[in-house]
Structure 1
Amino acid sequence: MERQRAITLRFLAEPTDVNFGGKVHGGAVMKWIDLAAYACAAGWSGQYCITVYAGGIRFVKPVKVGSLVEVTAKVIYTGRTSMHIGIDVQACDPKTREFVLTTHCIVIMVAVDDDGQPAAVPEWVPATPADIELHSSAIRLMEMRKKIGAEMEAHLHL
């Protein structure tokens, strides 16, 4: 089976996605991110996958209702059972097709077997300079998340 490392989902932002300010609300964008991350991780691993982390979500520009939206997801690191997925969300007026970045983040997905236990995933090995930098960045972000996780322990008992 050929592994699919990246996927782009495309759709129109609907009026039901609007917030009180008249733009697409962040929750809708986060749902799109999760859908793309799942499709990417399942395509790479060939297995059912679950989201275990979504972080560094940066809302750069608002998405307008009626916009054509592209959510691109790409494997940037693999562990034994996990896949780090880089996500970019872009939007444009469908008449012009001039896309602008609206949101980006990293999502970590874990492949699971039929019993819901973590399952091994194929290794992704970066080959291009751009992919090597993405891979290195994912490793640096892992180290930062460990430190943030330790700090967050204080908030578990509020």
Structure 2
Amino acid sequence: MPGTERSLTLRFLAEPTDINFGGKVHGGAAMKWIDLAAYACASAWSGKYCITAYMGGMRFVKPIHVGHMVEVDAKVIYTGRTSMHLGIEVRSGPPTSVTKELTTHCVAIMVAVDEQGRPTQVPEWVPQTQEDIAMRESAIRLIQMRAQIADEMQSYLSSV
């Protein structure tokens, strides 16, 4: 039911096909996993097909090793009229250990769309805890910062 599934975790093993030239998991593979988790979480929350509108603040903290268990956690931290901001964390570690270390984190914005591909309304997420309130406030500050960046980038875009 829309508006009830706020978070999810994808779990899988990092495979040899995911490696880069340095022998670690390619950053692009992690970005794909993040996009998949963001889609699954946003679709579960909204009950709609969702598209990626933005990925930002991507930080690669530690490498992911082939054969490690990877956990991609996605959580709704803010909802607009048609969009959902998601906090994403990627953790990994040996499959024989319950301990997983943070490897990557970012914010994703997903937009719910109707059958014609037009943005459509999503259920509102209301924070329940102090941590939730802080995450929502952070998402709002990021919206304001992105607006400033967009204004600044306008001079570059118009000269192309």
TM-score (norm 2): 0.96
Question: Is 1:22 aligned to 2:20, yes or no?
Answer: no
Distance of 1:11 and 1:152 partners within structure 2: 38
* Other-structure match for 1:47: 48
SS of 1:91 mapped into structure 2: strand
Distance of 1:152 and 1:69 partners within structure 2: 35
Distance of 1:131 and 1:93 partners within structure 2: 30
RMSD: 0.9
Q: Deviations over 1:80-122 (max 9, x none)?
A: 0000000000000111221000000000000000000000000
Distance of 1:116 and 1:130 partners within structure 2: 34
Deviation, 1:154, is 2.8
Distance of 1:68 and 1:97 partners within structure 2: 10
- Structure 2 segments unaligned to the other structure (5+ residues): none
Percent identical across equivalent pairs? Answer: 65
Q: What does 1:120-131 correspond to in 2, within 5 Å?
A: 120-131=121-132
* Other-structure match for 2:7: 6
* Other-structure match for 1:31: 32
Q: Deviations over 1:109-148 (max 9, x none)?
A: 0000000000000000001000000000000011011111
- Structure 1 segments unaligned to the other structure (5+ residues): none
Distance of 1:149 and 1:97 partners within structure 2: 42
SS of 1:42 mapped into structure 2: helix
* Other-structure match for 2:75: 74
Superposed structure 1 runs of 4+ greater than 6 Å apart? none
* Other-structure match for 1:60: 61
Deviation, 1:149, is 1.4
SS of 2:156 mapped into structure 1: helix
Question: Is 1:83 aligned to 2:81, yes or no?
Answer: no
User: Residue type matched to 1:118 in 2?
Assistant: P
* Other-structure match for 1:147: 148
Number of residue-to-residue matches in the alignment: 158
